[in-house]
Structure 1
Amino acid sequence: MYLYIETLKQRLDAINQLRVDRALAAMGPAFRQVYGLLPTLLHYHHPLMPGYLDGNVPHGICFYAPDEKQQTYLNEIMQRQPGDLNAEPVGEPPITGVYSMGSTSSVGQSCSSDLDIWVCHQSWLDADERQRLQQKCTRLEKWAASLGVDVSFFLIDENRFRHNESGSLGGEDCGSTQHILLLDEFYRTAVRMAGKRILWNLVPCEEEAHYDEYVLSLYARGALTPNEWLDLGGLGTLSAEEYFGASLWQLYKSIDSPYKAVLKTLLLEAYSWEYPNTDLLAMDIKQRLHKGEIVSFGLDPYCMMLERVTRYLELINDPTRLDLVRRCFYLKVCEKLSRARACVGWRREILTQLVAQWGWDEKRIEMLDNRANWKIEQVREAHNELLDAMMQSYRNLIRFARRNNLSVSASPQDIGVLTRKLYAAFEALPGKVTLVNPQISPDLSEKHLTFVHVPIGRANRAGWYLYNRAPTIETIISHQPLEYNRYLNKLVAWAYFNGLLMPDTQLHIKSSNNLCDLNKLQELVHDVGQHFPIRLPAPTPKALYSPCEIRHLAIIVNLENDPTSAFRNQVVHFDFRKLDVFSFGQQQQCLIGSIDLLYRNSWNEVRTLHFSGEQAVLEALKTILGKMHQDAAPPEAVEVFCYSAHLRGLIRTRLQQLVSECIELRLSSTRLEPGRFKAVRVAGQTWGLFFERLSVSVQKLENAIEFYGAISNNKLHGLPTVQVETKQVHLPGVVDGYASEGIIQFFFEDGDDEGFNIYILDETNRVEVYHHCEGSKEELVRDVSRFYSSSHDRFTYGSSFINFNLPQFYQIVNIDGQAQVVPFRSTSLSQLCMNTDEGEATSPLKQRFQLH
């Protein structure tokens, strides 16, 4: 046994050294400096070292001994400030080991790869010590970033996986969606930078089911030395709960990094295909390690992931996705075979062998190597292909879960965050600007963009067409348009936010009825560019879990329909003392003929809307205010862009004033006052904007009786509710503040007795109130989610339906005597059960609760 253990240790050390060498060989001097110094910076704590902060900070790595370069660095520190280097305290150091994981050291590591570091620590660190260590790691991340190296640290309690503890969803953490799968990835990709060897590698695969007993027997026989190994536990059975949550997480990642996510999502799909006898990839690598089969380019984890996915796709006869996954792998490796110079020889050698096996010709390789120069046609084709593959994989995951009547164990909050981001990225809605370039090509800018308007009555459908060419008959007639929309604002927004429209792009416009001229178009492009950055940081989990709010709003006036253009060469009679742009002159004409809205919300969606005619002002106001729930933060910016031929400044100022007043009324602290309204006179008629409890309504007011009747109706009746009790019930004010259009919301309120109340707001803020419910809230969460995931399909892609817009769950709590809304957290492990009967269509609420 001793000789067997020693042989495995030698193999492990040899593979680990190979991976360290490969990690350093693939990268530049800055990366090598950071990678080489991180163990030293975590072992010591010194004012002259990066990451230092005052106070007691846990430091010291088990079995750490500086190498030659690290010792040179330490000698320099000592020369600058002689004295104690403040090494680890007496006893076993607090840091068990430091490990890089993920693509680092594999063929998937490219010159632009980031670095994920697990800092495994002793379980006896208290909360304050962990916080101090995290603060130091955060400072080290900033130091690395200053050198151009992207590093993310993850503090891992050595007992985390044994106790099934989950992180929080944010940054690179997957929250409650992964456990065994995260450990699987760590075990197959970890590179020990300093600290203890990983014990899991020594346990034979046939003993995995009895992992703890086998480890204890090794200690009992003296085959292992106590406290010499990092023991995160064995790889248990992969549950369908975790599998579904992990799949959602990979879809979440695919939005920003599609090429890498395709590989990982298909690996999960391959796992599900083998279920319940899933052979995790880490187990496959360990099996080969124990047999001495150091094949597949030295057990390269990325190559082995490709092997597993290839075997799966060939078995199910899916050549389309197999071809895609090979191209994704090639692009992820980022070693251009059509060019003579190579970053690292061994990576080029691996890729050359694979490409020869695949039978690729030089033309295909050159096309992929030229990805940096792809333009919109190629990028959109690649985006649609990636999206097709991800959606096909997701559909297969859903079918697997339903077929086996399995559930997901992610918490409702994490599921909410994941589904919200998927909804924001993939949901196809009218007016939404689809972003087609998630890290596919760095530059989609065009030299020429031509906007062509086709009026009603022509062979082509009426509206605007966008071409990436100068407007000659030959180029327009012989080419398909890039994009079409009924309204110009949407096309401009699509071109701008997808990076086609840049400051040096030459604009052209053709409109037979002069809806918009070149000057207007150039002004619009300039205004949008000045007020809307193309890229923003990704929305936080908190933002995704909360109702979406308008962040940046542009109100675009008279772009396509300008009533003031008729004033040219005319005498217009009006009274300056009664100047009203909404009821102008003797004809009481509204000088706003069209309004386009362009806004970005807190989920980073970009939306456009168009309103035309005399009621455009009222319709636009009602729409804007309806998208603001009463507890929303005011928009960070509200801009009015006006393109009228005459009275431009006056129209812009008056509309800006009206919009500001209405937003203030909608979001002000006096929102609970009944009967609040704003009277607006448009085209000679008076209208009332009524700020009701959950929405804003518009009502025409012909005379004084009708006017006061409307106000008293608002006071007396408000919005209807479904009352289960016979006495009058009221919706709590704190629920009013969270009401948001477009999503279904459940609010739980614990009652004085053992029951609880439920307030439900649907997508149009219609209300149902259930009192004195009995049973389990967790059961309700499970059944409602199952009901909506199987019966209400709101996302359409291709011929299939997928619903990402799942209900959101909240709890009303009393904090310091004040009611507040917090995300619903299960007291036990919540389960969102997948529906086994796709035809189910009865309300799960009435199935599970007895209503008194």
Structure 2
Amino acid sequence: MTIHTAPIALDFDEGIDRKTLRRLRDRFMAVNQHRWERARSALTYRQQAVLEVLPLVFHLNHPALPGYLDSDCPYGLSHYRPAEPTLNAARRLARTFSLKDEGRRKPDLEALFLMGSPGTLGHSVASDLDVWLCHRPDLSERGVHCLERKAESLAAWTLSLGVELHVFVFSAADWRAGRQRAEVTGENCGSSQHFLLLDEFYRTSIHLGGCYPLWWLVPVGDEDRYDECARQLVDCRFIRGDEYIDFGPAVSIPQEEFLGAGVWQLYKGIDAPWKSILKLLLIECYARGKGEPLLSRVFKAAVYAGETDPDRLDPYVLLYERLEHWLREEEAPDRLALVRQSLYLKAGLPLTRSAQLVAGWRTSLLQALVDDWGWTAAEIGNLDNRIRWRAEDVVVLRRAVVAELTHSYRLLSRLARDHGTRAAISSNDMNLLGRKLYAAFQRKAGKIEQI
């Protein structure tokens, strides 16, 4: 599929106009719609209701909708107007549901986003849904706790449909100020990463409702003066400030983040090694820093240049291309082979059993990559049939994976020492992750290795 439109140029020094800004926002929303449809297509018919009604259940505090706790819970998603398919999905869930006019009430919520692997090549049946729910900055502590409880109630409902949902509740103002509410849990990276997470958010997020990211409207070349451009857009009334949400720029990753982020990915690698290898190598690639822009900036520059093909903008494709370019330069063919294997296994699509697969965009995209790598049918078949591998072969692969994970971690540790940087991760989070990693990866006499 080739979808290419005319480039859009914004020059803050020469002058910008509202019409061009609207075209730009609409282009990002077109890319967003492609991703939303792809994310939806990966779910079963019953699970699709989750994606369809998620903005509505936060926009309304309706007793007939999932997640309802009490009448005091904050609600109202800024500038959100539910479309007919959303209302129909709500009626299928609750026959008593009807939409009432709330009048001109100030909304409590600014925006709702889905981020991570949904809508990408890396989205498998085992993938969860990570959602950012952004409330207005002056919401009371009681209101925030109520939203967190509602999020937990929703997660229980989605789990009954076979979807693992994680809703992270915070305000954009707290995010920009680096005020971290949560400690490390199974899904929350705590204090271990901020700008790395923002980079991932900007290149993977799907806007579900509310304000649009202001970051869309600041060209890559102007991100070094991001705050100045953002003020110009709002103060000179090129945009309505209340229609946009601002998480700040993602210009570069500070050295302090690499070590904590590396430990976090090691920890995640206990349960999801293929995804962690890809992410850990990207962190290493960023840490070695040779002037290459962050992937979020590559994504944004491509959209400005007119690229709207969802295959070309797929976050996992962009990630793979960066790692391939870097590892070829490093002359590291074994590491590149492991990256390819990790991407293939993360996608979770056994191509040798393609007759059983629904011929969709993920199958076509993965097949194109595999063809480009020159993999033989025997190589693909070996990976597809790893359930039948001998224990010895599994142990060999496991040790290769652990060696790769720990290699990257040691390199990040050395970089941190060489730069004399203090890790951004809190000592409490670091100790907690350290204990979990020690238990998982330490090899000692009498311990049975889990394979």
The one of 396, 399, 410 aligned to 2:414: 399
CA distance 1:88–1:423, shift in 2 (3 Å): farther
Conserved? CA contact 1:310–1:322, under 8 Å:
yes
Whole-Å Cα distance in 1 between the matches of residues 94 and 193 of structure 2? 44
Whole-Å Cα distance in 2 between the matches of residues 61 and 192 of structure 1? 12
| Partner residue in 2 for 1:630 | none
Q: Kindly indicate whether residue 200 of structure 2 is the aligned counterpart of residue 185 of structure 1.
A: yes
Gaps spanning 5+ residues in structure 1: where? 438-852
Whole-Å Cα distance in 1 between the matches of residues 369 and 414 of structure 2? 33
The one of 47, 54, 58 aligned to 2:63: 47
Aligned-pair distance for 1:384?
A: 1.0
- Structure 2 counterpart of 1:318, one-letter code: A
Q: Kindly indicate whether residue 220 of structure 2 is the aligned counterpart of residue 220 of structure 1.
A: no
| Partner residue in 2 for 1:360 | 375
| Partner residue in 1 for 2:9 | none
Conserved? CA contact 1:43–1:88, under 8 Å:
no
User: What is the TM-score normalised by the length of structure 1?
Assistant: 0.49
Whole-Å Cα distance in 1 between the matches of residues 370 and 93 of structure 2? 48
Whole-Å Cα distance in 2 between the matches of residues 374 and 336 of structure 1? 15
| Partner residue in 2 for 1:97 | 111
Q: Secondary structure at the match of 1:168?
A: coil
| Partner residue in 2 for 1:126 | 140
Whole-Å Cα distance in 1 between the matches of residues 35 and 307 of structure 2? 17
> Quick one: higher RCO (CA 8 Å, sep 6+), 1 or 2?
2
Conserved? CA contact 1:45–1:87, under 8 Å:
no
Q: Kindly indicate whether residue 178 of structure 2 is the aligned counterpart of residue 159 of structure 1.
A: no
The one of 364, 370, 384 aligned to 2:399: 384
Q: Secondary structure at the match of 1:138?
A: helix
Whole-Å Cα distance in 1 between the matches of residues 231 and 44 of structure 2? 44
The count of residues paired between Structure 1 and Structure 2 equals: 433
Larger Rg: 1
| Partner residue in 2 for 1:415 | 430
Q: Deviations over 1:79-124 (max 9, x none)?
A: 5377xx5776743311111111000100111122211111111111
Q: Deviations over 1:118-167 (max 9, x none)?
A: 11111111110000011111000000001111111111211122101223
Conserved? CA contact 1:44–1:88, under 8 Å:
no
| Partner residue in 2 for 1:34 | 50
- Structure 1 counterpart of 2:195, one-letter code: I
Whole-Å Cα distance in 2 between the matches of residues 112 and 413 of structure 1? 30
Q: Kindly indicate whether residue 143 of structure 2 is the aligned counterpart of residue 143 of structure 1.
A: no
Whole-Å Cα distance in 1 between the matches of residues 146 and 114 of structure 2? 21
Aligned-pair distance for 1:404?
A: 2.5
Conserved? CA contact 1:262–1:325, under 8 Å:
yes
Whole-Å Cα distance in 1 between the matches of residues 203 and 364 of structure 2? 22
CA distance 1:76–1:297, shift in 2 (3 Å): closer
Whole-Å Cα distance in 1 between the matches of residues 300 and 97 of structure 2? 46
Whole-Å Cα distance in 2 between the matches of residues 244 and 81 of structure 1? 49
What fraction of aligned residue pairs are identical, expressed as a percent? 37
Q: Kindly indicate whether residue 82 of structure 2 is the aligned counterpart of residue 66 of structure 1.
A: yes
User: What is the TM-score normalised by the length of structure 2?
Assistant: 0.91
Q: Deviations over 1:39-64 (max 9, x none)?
A: 11111122222111124001111122
The one of 217, 222, 230 aligned to 1:202: 217
Whole-Å Cα distance in 1 between the matches of residues 336 and 393 of structure 2? 19
Aligned-pair distance for 1:28?
A: 1.2
Conserved? CA contact 1:30–1:148, under 8 Å:
no
Equivalent residues in 2 for 1:300-311, closer than 5 Å: 300-311=314-325
Aligned-pair distance for 1:246?
A: 0.7
Equivalent residues in 2 for 1:567-586, closer than 5 Å: none
Whole-Å Cα distance in 1 between the matches of residues 47 and 249 of structure 2? 32
CA distance 1:87–1:178, shift in 2 (3 Å): farther
Q: Deviations over 1:487-511 (max 9, x none)?
A: xxxxxxxxxxxxxxxxxxxxxxxxx
Conserved? CA contact 1:43–1:87, under 8 Å:
no
Aligned-pair distance for 1:428?
A: 1.9
Whole-Å Cα distance in 2 between the matches of residues 431 and 416 of structure 1? 25
Conserved? CA contact 2:75–2:107, under 8 Å:
yes
| Partner residue in 1 for 2:326 | 312
Whole-Å Cα distance in 2 between the matches of residues 380 and 5 of structure 1? 54
- Structure 2 counterpart of 1:150, one-letter code: E
CA distance 1:17–1:97, shift in 2 (3 Å): same
Equivalent residues in 2 for 1:613-632, closer than 5 Å: none
CA distance 1:310–1:391, shift in 2 (3 Å): same
Aligned-pair distance for 1:181?
A: 0.7
Cα RMSD between the aligned structures?
1.9
Aligned-pair distance for 1:402?
A: 2.6
CA distance 1:358–1:76, shift in 2 (3 Å): closer
Conserved? CA contact 2:64–2:94, under 8 Å:
no
The one of 4, 10, 25 aligned to 2:26: 10
| Partner residue in 2 for 1:285 | 299
CA distance 1:203–1:163, shift in 2 (3 Å): same
Whole-Å Cα distance in 1 between the matches of residues 449 and 115 of structure 2? 33
Conserved? CA contact 2:251–2:294, under 8 Å:
no
Q: Secondary structure at the match of 1:299?
A: coil
CA distance 1:311–1:33, shift in 2 (3 Å): same
| Partner residue in 1 for 2:72 | 56
Aligned-pair distance for 1:286?
A: 1.0
The one of 123, 126, 147 aligned to 1:112: 126
Whole-Å Cα distance in 1 between the matches of residues 222 and 439 of structure 2? 45
Conserved? CA contact 2:183–2:189, under 8 Å:
yes
CA distance 1:50–1:295, shift in 2 (3 Å): closer
Conserved? CA contact 2:53–2:90, under 8 Å:
no
Equivalent residues in 2 for 1:606-645, closer than 5 Å: none
CA distance 1:156–1:372, shift in 2 (3 Å): farther
Whole-Å Cα distance in 2 between the matches of residues 46 and 6 of structure 1? 33
Q: Secondary structure at the match of 1:407?
A: coil
| Partner residue in 1 for 2:96 | 80
Gaps spanning 5+ residues in structure 2: where? 1-15
- Structure 2 counterpart of 1:355, one-letter code: V
